[in-house]
Amino acid sequence: MTTTTAHGVGVSPGQVSGPVARVAEPLPEPKATPAPADRDQEAARIGPAATAVARRLADRAESVTGEARAILETTAAMAGDPTLLANAEKLVRERGLPAPRAAFEAAEEFAALLAAAGGYLAERVRDVRDVADRLIAELTGTAPPGVPELSGPAVLVARDLAPADTADLDPRLVLALVTEEGGPTGHTAILARSLGIPAVVAARGVLAADAMGARVDGDTGEVELSDEPVAVEVAQRPAQRVWDGVGRTADGHPVKVLANIGSAADAAAAAAAGAEGVGLFRTEFCFLAATSEPDVAAQRAAYAEALAPFAGKPVVVRTLDAGADKPLPFLNATDEPNPALGVRGIRVAFDRPEIVDRQLEAIAAAAADTGAEVSVMAPMVATAEEAAWFAQRARAAGITRAGVMIEVPAAALSAAEVLDAVDFVSIGTNDLAQYTFAADRMLGALAQLNDPWQPALLRLVELVARAGRERGKPVGVCGEAAADGLLAGVLAGLGVTSLSMVTAALGAVGASLAEHSMATCEQAARVAVATAEPAQARQAARGLLHR
């Protein structure tokens, strides 16, 4: 037996071994020839194919609940997106492309816009390409890529995984997830933790090995690949308590467990899963497909639909996070040599304050319509002066509680002055990590630098939390670091007062917090921060929080 070892980032703990099941690669790029004899007839194939794909996804959604259902329903809606389909039909009629090629090019154009946006929107690129593959498969009469039907327990190995691929995975059959691409804050990591199965991402070389068996260590990120079958073995993991819906440590110290949402569907799923509120409501969904700025009435209605499931509960609404690296037609963005460091987030509002004023007006009205306890926060704030500027505008709009995101290292380093200007802050660990380490979080090759267990990142969190504690003001975390049950205990120990995450992680994080006292969390935080490498930080914390 010959073995090779690949090293990635362990994102969900546990050790298993077993046979390998490879997830099919994306379909090859469709050819642009031959041109259809009847362009109108060829274009007319796209709508019915999209309807079939959407119907299949919707049928799968009917068989599941919660986050899985929301994922499948969202993907089904994307498959039937009228703009995507209209663009594909236009490519057939105007350029004479075959329908599969037209679907591919229309999806790639949309994916390029999302990739340029960076952050959360860039993470949706995989979803768009997944939908395109399903549509192309329908048009060509081939099997769509995705997770194979499993006849027995197996380790799933893939280049990457789309949410729709994994929404209804059976954890009794999936021993572990291993991907060559992806990162520690991506969908695969969150899904694996919610299912309680080991996972390793950014394990470069796992596909080239063409292995028949694998041993996976989700703690260390080590994947041992064998050219012969490997017997199924699963290391016993401690049983996890069921979360009672109240965020707190074992000794009763409150740490709110909140949801990140970006649509009304997300909100409904989060409420059904027992979220205590919303720590991050991304409002970009209201603007993404708009060719002109939505008026106050349209924004008000859209926000109200998402706020309604949280009547009487706290919801933190983030104002528009767009600009040079997140292009929207009505913003008139100019070319910049480095748009990720350009006029984006709150910086757009300095030149166009009327945009944020109208959004704040709509948010205040939607809060009144629904009874949700709404706060607002601004993205990409770098200085206390910017924080004060935003808080003043929010209060002028009738929103009494205003805060800012801590995503820029400068804001973390001046957290005391920032907190003097606002009522709360929320740390976006995804962006804070990539700006601190100068490492694009979408690049699998840099996944180690974007590991939320990086001690340098934890020290910045500690700095911000200390400033909040000294001023008696809340400090939340709304990056995907909050979705890691083990890391949640460390963040609480550092002084973080709320954790906001994808719906799939709520139960596991809430239960994990409830297993340990605040004193133990504080001890775990001290030892993690004192280490030099993320693997050491994780191991040190696990020694205290998962004995």
Cite the active site residues. 187, 478
3-state DSSP call for residue 309? helix
Which residue type is seen at 308?
A
Alpha helix stretches (DSSP H) within 167-211: 187-195
How many helices and strands in the chain, by DSSP H and E?
22, 17
Question: Which string of b and e fits 167-190 if b means at least 16 CB within 10 Å?
Answer: bebeeeebbbbbbbbbbbbbbbbb
All residues at 6 or more sequence positions from 36 whose CB lies less than 8 Å from its CB, including other chains = 42, 92, 96, 98, 99
Half-sphere exposure for 194 (CA within 13 Å, toward CB): 25
Q: Quickly tell me which residue has 């802050």 as its tokens.
A: 425
**How many Å apart are CA 242 and CA 101, to the nearest integer?**
48
Contact present, 184 and 447 (Cβ < 8 Å): yes
Q: Which of 270, 504, 475 is nearest to 372 (CA)?
A: 270
Closest CA to 386 of 338, 343, 448: 343
Tell how strand 498-501 and strand 256-261 pair up: parallel
Asked if omega into 26 is within 30° of 0 (cis), the reply is no
Answer for the pair 486, 538: CB distance below 8 angstroms, yes or no. Answer: yes
> If you search the block for the tokens 């700006």, which residue do you land on?
435
